[in-house]
Amino acid sequence: MNPLEAKRHTLAHLLAQAVLESYPEAKLTLGPAIDTGFYYDIDFGDQKVSDADLVTFEKAMRKRLGEWKEFTHEEVSAEKAREVFKGNPYKLELIEEISGRGEPITLYTCGGFTDLCRGGHTAHPAEDIAPDSFALDRVAGAYWRGDETKPMLTRIYGLAFDTKEELDALTAQREEAKKRDHRLLGKELDLFTFSELVGPGLPLWTPKGALMRHLLDAFVWQLRERHGYARVTIPHLTKRALYETSGHWEKFADELFRIETREDKEYAVKPMNCPHHTQIFDRHPHSYREMPQRYAETTMVYRDEQSGELGGLTRVLSITQDDSHVFCRHIQVKEEFFKIWDIIDTFYGAFGFRLRVRLSFHDPAAPERYLGTPEIWANAENALREIASERGADHFEAPGEAAMYGPKLDFMATDSLGREHQVATIQLDMNLPERFDLTCVNEKGEKERIVMIHCAIMGSIERFSAVMLEHTGGNLPLWLSPEQVRIVPIAEAHHAYGKEVAAKLQEAGIRTEIDASNDSLGKRIREAKRQKLPYVLVLGNAEMDAKTVTAESRDHGKLEGLPLDEFSTRLTKEIVEHL
Amino acid sequence: MNPLEAKRHTLAHLLAQAVLESYPEAKLTLGPAIDTGFYYDIDFGDQKVSDADLVTFEKAMRKRLGEWKEFTHEEVSAEKAREVFKGNPYKLELIEEISGRGEPITLYTCGGFTDLCRGGHTAHPAEDIAPDSFALDRVAGAYWRGDETKPMLTRIYGLAFDTKEELDALTAQREEAKKRDHRLLGKELDLFTFSELVGPGLPLWTPKGALMRHLLDAFVWQLRERHGYARVTIPHLTKRALYETSGHWEKFADELFRIETREDKEYAVKPMNCPHHTQIFDRHPHSYREMPQRYAETTMVYRDEQSGELGGLTRVLSITQDDSHVFCRHIQVKEEFFKIWDIIDTFYGAFGFRLRVRLSFHDPAAPERYLGTPEIWANAENALREIASERGADHFEAPGEAAMYGPKLDFMATDSLGREHQVATIQLDMNLPERFDLTCVNEKGEKERIVMIHCAIMGSIERFSAVMLEHTGGNLPLWLSPEQVRIVPIAEAHHAYGKEVAAKLQEAGIRTEIDASNDSLGKRIREAKRQKLPYVLVLGNAEMDAKTVTAESRDHGKLEGLPLDEFSTRLTKEIVEHL
């Protein structure tokens, strides 16, 4: 256990003591260290604990901390332990488990507070822990041992770092993240909505949101088209037979939306596209000269998630994948991975994401978890290793993270708040070609088993939109803004000129709207800024007479008295720059 | 009954007599006139009648026709009729029905053959009917009275017209139609495929087919964008609640694919898009200044059709609608209809379809079938009448053809074989806005009920593709051809020049492929023609030395020794011409 983790675990004990001061009847359960601090799950019986209690608990923790000079511990018999924790069924359950495993039962004590614990604390809390380096965070519900058939407990979260500065930095990042919550931004920018009648997890995309999606997808397509991809189109349903062959009927058991037809046939709504795509590839034999075949399709897949897990765009029932499948020969794998990597780099680069790559390999100690011979795996993983080194990319290996059917490259993007998100993945699949008996005819006229490469650049448009909206804070890059320019004529006398400017810009393909409403100039400008529009043109006599524009650029400050043509050219240049 | 119908009905009698000569035990049932001739449904017991029998029957009909001088008829009692048709349960059933209704029972006789019949024959068949103006067509199965719980009968179809020339014309049209069957063309041009594992009625679109769909849809979108439409995006699922409000849960009872989730919630796969789109419109209030709102979305809908009805692209489970919904005020209806009509004219005009328009109105004698007041209907129908007259379009009124919620314009396209297909429709809907309480805030600050206009330009991409493929015989217009130019270098020495030409054309956005396979020149040219490619460039020494191309144009003959630039410009011009 590293020193910070030890501090966090120590603070969980301290929290427990503080809680018992106010609620002596509360029953403690478990209190581990976590990523940003610690928590303790506690059974408060009929009593309700709220955020207001946190102030009291936190004050008590700071007061007690000075008394927490040194931890002591003793090993006790199960009998003794049962005596100490009698009346607390949770601890008693833990004691039975520990002694059942034949492990020693230890009690740790500090500042007069004793808990059942296996250790891992800071030795001298009063010295080691700065009183301003931690804070209580929030209260939530949690089932005992995460099991929904068991009692609901109260979980109290705390934040803890080595220094106050680190704590403050996290708090600031969280404040910023709250403002950038994609659910808020989606509403503010009018990108998507949800309907009670349609249901949670099923976003409805408004004109602006649908345009944003379309532009994102067109960008990916543009990159793919350069590399020889072709679009295909499949339905969202299939007979059960397809998934019995692919193995998804079993593997996706719970998440599959199943349908019984009026003729009692079993269908499913697709949770992925690969099995359908194999059927297009397999419509006729392919010569090696036609390989690779590269199929791309942006289409929705559906997974039956539990409704408690649904929220915003990060967990949805309808997932739009910008999916692709390359059907190729073993000797073509490397080149195809390179092409896809190029696409990923260009795409994420356009948004200023930093990427690092996880080489998700098989676990050599558990060969039974994978399909295929050790030789095939060694070849495939070596190929990925080579690709990663050749590109000089920031990468690391993660044994045991491979898919059952092959190794993969997982791309992790760091956003502007320093948070890391798993985004694109490229997967090498040696399994579906076996199951569907996919081959090409090679130079010798023989059937040759092929491989498949799965890749979604955005992953899903919903998830990528969420990550990208929070990363940009809703300041969509110019090329992606549904409305690129808002024209605000100062008075009615300037409406005609406003229309003239709008027509010119629209002719150049720049998405432009006029706000000629009766609202005051100030209100109209504020409204345009609230919508985070890249350019707001305020047009009055000066501009009208000189045939110029004055622009407030969201990203580049004020541009005064620019000739219209110059402004239009400047924007066109800025728009194509991302490509 | 018109004279041709009378002839056809007469020929059904004549067929019955001919059949009884070969199969005296056969039991006659019903034999009416139909669109292109007549049929007779007959119970042959255990005996199997095949196409081979038709030759015999037809010969017998021609022989007997000379004896069919004049029809006579008599009215008989039910008792007498039962006596005549004893042993034929079908005729006995008909006799009971006729007498049950208190109608007269009549027997018609000619050439010594008597049948139960209500009349409608040509008076002197031997004189009136040309022996070469009819032919037997085919044998099919049909349930007695169309009821699948009743016995299966043998239906014999005949073709009949006034003259041999008309009969020959139909036969020729049918031969042509057979060659143009979109299912064959789809395979020949490699546009779509079906998979046993995915199931019937669920087409899978190959790279070429998906590109064709994409180009069709992009064309429609281009036309819509000019008229202020915006794309929206919805999921394919919804909770049951949406369709309870819209009325579809009940109305689409049988055709709805229903889903029960892991949490036992009821969902449906959407059979149409309007209810979802109302939820996007309704996400916030709209001022009259923002009206109309025009949403467009090309998306698949699903209907649970009986599998016996599935075939090719005309009857599918997955239907891609190029759907749109205009949310507007009553006073905006006319203008919006005009805009859509413009789009339809341009779109169908690009393929050379002739259009006529059916004004599908309500039936004033059955007001209970419709929603809304007579005044609203009168206004709406007058608006459609005015629109149709103002455009000077070929139109006709059809009372009783309106939808429950409003009148519509149905567009009928005549294809190159003279067949008429119902294609686009524009529907005025005063019902869903009521059910979902859709309003805008008008000039007085009051909520005003709005209307919806539904329209799909292609109807569905699947059905339109079928109609268009058969109409063009697979000769897709240049702009729509997945491959526009095929380059065939005469020998290996010309490959480099072929690549140069391809690169030039691709740079100009012309979809070009090279066939540099080892096949003979003749075979490669034949293959390109079999694929109905618009342009085939055969490149040899002459072209290479002079930097020209020699093109075989599918539609414009041979173009010899054209400078490459000139050829490229010519194609670019031809491509944009349809817009």
Taking the C-alpha atoms of residue A555 and residue A538, their distance in angstroms, rounded to an integer, is 16
Task: Provide the ipTM.
Answer: 0.84
What mean pLDDT comes out for the span A351-376?
A: 88
The residues of B annotated with a catalytic role in the active site are: 274, 303, 321, 323, 325, 408, 454
SS3 state at B16: helix
**Confidence class of residue A94 from pLDDT cuts 50, 70 and 90?**
very high
What percentage of chain A carries pLDDT values higher than 70? 100
Q: Which residue has the tokens 């649904």?
A: A310
What's the burial of A520, exposed, middle or buried (CB within 10 Å: 0-12/13-18/19+)? Answer: exposed
* Among B313, B311, B241, B251, residue whose Cα is nearest residue B278: B241
Cross-strand partners of B138: B157
| Upper half-sphere CA count for residue B69 (Cβ side, 13 Å) | 2
Q: Which residue of A has its CA nearest to B276?
A: A198
| pLDDT reading at A372 higher than 70 | yes
Q: Which residue of B has its CA nearest to A253?
A: B262
Work out how many CB contacts closer than 8 A connect A with B.
186
**Per the CB < 8 Å rule, is A210 touching B231?**
yes
Chain A residues lying within 8 Å of B190, measured CB to CB: 284
Taking the C-alpha atoms of residue A298 and residue A461, their distance in angstroms, rounded to an integer, is 9
User: Which residue, among B215, B232, B233, would best test binding to A if mutated, counting the most A CBs under 10 Å from its CB?
Assistant: B233
**Per the CB < 8 Å rule, is B211 touching A231?**
yes
Q: Check residue B440 and give its pLDDT.
A: 98
Smallest Cβ–Cβ distance between B202 and the set A196, A231, A238 belongs to A238
Taking the C-alpha atoms of residue B435 and residue B245, their distance in angstroms, rounded to an integer, is 6
Rounded (10°) angle between helices B207-226 and B461-472: 110
Give phi and psi for B72, each to the nearest 5: -125, 160
Task: Say if residues B458 and B172 touch (Cβ distance below 8 Å).
Answer: no
B379 token code pair: 């206004």
SS3 state at A228: coil
User: What one-character DSSP code corresponds to residue A395?
Assistant: E
Residues 6+ apart with CB under 8 A from A566: none
| pLDDT reading at A189 higher than 90 | yes
Chain A residues lying within 8 Å of B282, measured CB to CB: 195
Evaluate whether A184-351+428-472 and A478-576 have a shared fold: no
Q: Check residue B438 and give its pLDDT.
A: 98
Architecture of domain A184-351+428-472: 2-Layer Sandwich (3.30)
Q: Which residue of B has its CA nearest to A308?
A: B263
Task: Say if residues B68 and B47 touch (Cβ distance below 8 Å).
Answer: no
- pLDDT, tens digit (0-9, with 9 covering 90-100), for B6-31: 999 999 999 999 999 999 999 999 99
Alpha-helical (H) ranges within A428-532 are 432-435, 461-472, 495-507, 521-530
**Per the CB < 8 Å rule, is A283 touching B202?**
no
Q: Check residue B565 and give its pLDDT.
A: 94
Taking the C-alpha atoms of residue B368 and residue A5, their distance in angstroms, rounded to an integer, is 75
Taking the C-alpha atoms of residue A232 and residue B21, their distance in angstroms, rounded to an integer, is 57
* Among A332, A354, A364, A357, residue whose Cα is nearest residue A428: A332
Q: Check residue A579 and give its pLDDT.
A: 67
State the Cα angle at B457 between B455 and B458, rounded to 5°: 130
Q: Which residue has the tokens 């719970």?
A: A254
Give A3-173's CATH code, choosing from 3.30.980.10, 1.10.10.10, 1.10.600.10, 3.30.1360.70.
3.30.980.10
Smallest Cβ–Cβ distance between B257 and the set A259, A282, A289 belongs to A259
Q: Check residue A332 and give its pLDDT.
A: 94
| pLDDT reading at A333 higher than 70 | yes
Range of lowest pLDDT (A403-407, A457-461, B202-206, B207-211):
A403-407
Taking the C-alpha atoms of residue B128 and residue B114, their distance in angstroms, rounded to an integer, is 19
DSSP one-letter string for A27-83: EEEE--EETTEEEEEEE-TT----HHHHHHHHHHHHHHHTT----EEEEE-HHHHHH
| pLDDT reading at A455 higher than 70 | yes
User: What one-character DSSP code corresponds to residue A185?
Assistant: H
**Per the CB < 8 Å rule, is A262 touching B254?**
yes
Range of lowest pLDDT (A320-334, A339-353, A419-433, B297-311):
B297-311
The residues of A annotated with a catalytic role in the active site are: 274, 303, 321, 323, 325, 408, 454
CA distances from B140 to A567, B39, B58, B152, B539 (A): 72, 10, 16, 10, 53
User: Which residue, among B193, B202, B531, would best test binding to A if mutated, counting the most A CBs under 10 Å from its CB?
Assistant: B202
Cα of A384 to nearest chain B Cα, Å = 29
Please state the separation of Cα A556 from the chain's center in Å: 30
Taking the C-alpha atoms of residue B558 and residue B562, their distance in angstroms, rounded to an integer, is 10
**Per the CB < 8 Å rule, is A263 touching B237?**
no
Smallest Cβ–Cβ distance between B198 and the set A232, A242, A259 belongs to A242
- A292 cis-preceded (ω within 30 degrees of 0): yes
Taking the C-alpha atoms of residue B236 and residue B241, their distance in angstroms, rounded to an integer, is 15
The residue extents of the domains of chain B are 3-173, 184-351+428-472, 478-576
Taking the C-alpha atoms of residue B482 and residue A464, their distance in angstroms, rounded to an integer, is 31
Smallest Cβ–Cβ distance between B318 and the set A197, A237, A284 belongs to A237
**Confidence class of residue A383 from pLDDT cuts 50, 70 and 90?**
confident
* Among A468, A474, A459, residue whose Cα is nearest residue A422: A459
Q: Which residue of A has its CA nearest to B230?
A: A207
* Among B456, B469, B459, B474, residue whose Cα is nearest residue B422: B459
Task: Fold for B478-576, please state it.
Answer: Rossmann fold (3.40.50)
Residue A1: count of CB within 10 angstroms of its CB: 13
Q: Check residue B456 and give its pLDDT.
A: 95
User: What one-character DSSP code corresponds to residue B492?
Assistant: G
Smallest Cβ–Cβ distance between A279 and the set B204, B289, B317 belongs to B204
**Per the CB < 8 Å rule, is B207 touching A262?**
no
Taking the C-alpha atoms of residue B121 and residue B137, their distance in angstroms, rounded to an integer, is 21
Q: Which residue of A has its CA nearest to B278?
A: A195
Taking the C-alpha atoms of residue A85 and residue A79, their distance in angstroms, rounded to an integer, is 10
Task: Say if residues B546 and B528 touch (Cβ distance below 8 Å).
Answer: no
Cα of B64 to nearest chain A Cα, Å = 47
B538: left (phi over 0), alpha (psi -120 to 50) or beta: beta
B548 token code pair: 């020209």
| pLDDT reading at B577 higher than 90 | no
Cα of A178 to nearest chain B Cα, Å = 23
- pLDDT, tens digit (0-9, with 9 covering 90-100), for B81-131: 999 999 999 999 999 999 999 999 999 999 999 999 989 999 999 999 999
Cα of A205 to nearest chain B Cα, Å = 5
User: Which residue, among B191, B197, B208, would best test binding to A if mutated, counting the most A CBs under 10 Å from its CB?
Assistant: B197
- pLDDT, tens digit (0-9, with 9 covering 90-100), for A518-543: 899 999 999 999 999 999 999 999 99
**Per the CB < 8 Å rule, is A198 touching B231?**
no
Q: Check residue B369 and give its pLDDT.
A: 78
| pLDDT reading at A456 higher than 90 | yes
Average pLDDT, chain A: 93
User: Which residue, among A148, A183, A191, A202, would best test binding to B if mutated, counting the most B CBs under 10 Å from its CB?
Assistant: A202
